[in-house]
């Protein structure tokens, strides 16, 4: 059974995609995220700015405990992030570096949310999974340079890892 999702938010109007896999299942064999989108939002990611206007696209329970910055205010609030640090670049930097796929104008996390829901776009999935694997370099740096359990060591890298569905709280 294939379901079509219609998106109408601040960054996309009339975008449609098909869900061809069950939610949270049948991931690529080399893609093993440690955190679900729902859990990431509840931990505090992206300064609470990300996805505030996407509630109709995804399951409502994803947003029950999500930590969001107040709607209408400019910017973001790093105190909402789990590690209380600013650990991301603006969307303009992502665009400049060619990281944004046309159907996912918010970047990797939007792709991940849609992939988690069951959307599959083989070439884009491969590209994003390759990017996800490359982020492991930060995991290696945290484990090499920090004592296990020291949450104050390399908080920006730990927060960035949370943004990529790696559970840096367990390092």
In the chain, where the domains are located: 3-170
91 pLDDT above the threshold of 80: no
Q: What pLDDT, on the 0 to 100 scale, is given for residue 47?
A: 82
Please state, in angstroms and rounded to a whole number, the distance separating the CA atoms of residues 29 and 138. Answer: 22
Q: What pLDDT, on the 0 to 100 scale, is given for residue 92?
A: 78
Residue with tokens 């999500």: 66
Helix axes 108-117, 122-134, angle to 10 degrees: 120
Residues 28-84 have pLDDT tens digits of: 999 999 999 999 999 989 888 878 888 899 999 999 999 988 776 667 788 888 999
| Rounded average pLDDT over 127-147 | 95
Give the list of residues 6+ apart from residue 105 with CB closer than 8 angstroms, or none: 11, 12
Whether the model clears a pTM of 0.85, i.e. scores above it, the answer is yes
């Amino acid at each position: 059974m294939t379901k079509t999702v219609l998106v109408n938010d601040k960054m996309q109007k009339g975008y449609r995609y098909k869900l061809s896999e069950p939610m949270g299942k049948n991931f690529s064999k080399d893609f093993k995220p440690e955190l679900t989108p729902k859990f990431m939002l509840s931990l505090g990611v992206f300064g609470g700015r990300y996805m505030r206007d996407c509630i109709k696209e995804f399951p409502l329970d994803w947003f029950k405990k999500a930590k969001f910055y107040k709607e209408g205010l400019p910017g973001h609030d790093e105190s909402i992030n789990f590690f209380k640090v600013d650990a991301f670049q603006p969307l303009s930097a992502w665009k400049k570096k060619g990281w944004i796929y046309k159907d996912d104008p918010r970047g990797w996390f939007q792709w991940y949310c849609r992939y988690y829901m069951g959307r599959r776009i083989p070439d884009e999935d491969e590209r994003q999974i390759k990017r996800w694997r490359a982020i492991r370099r930060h995991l290696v740096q945290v484990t090499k340079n920090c004592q296990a359990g020291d949450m104050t060591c390399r908080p920006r890298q730990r927060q960035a890892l949370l943004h990529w569905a790696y559970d840096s709280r367990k390092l």
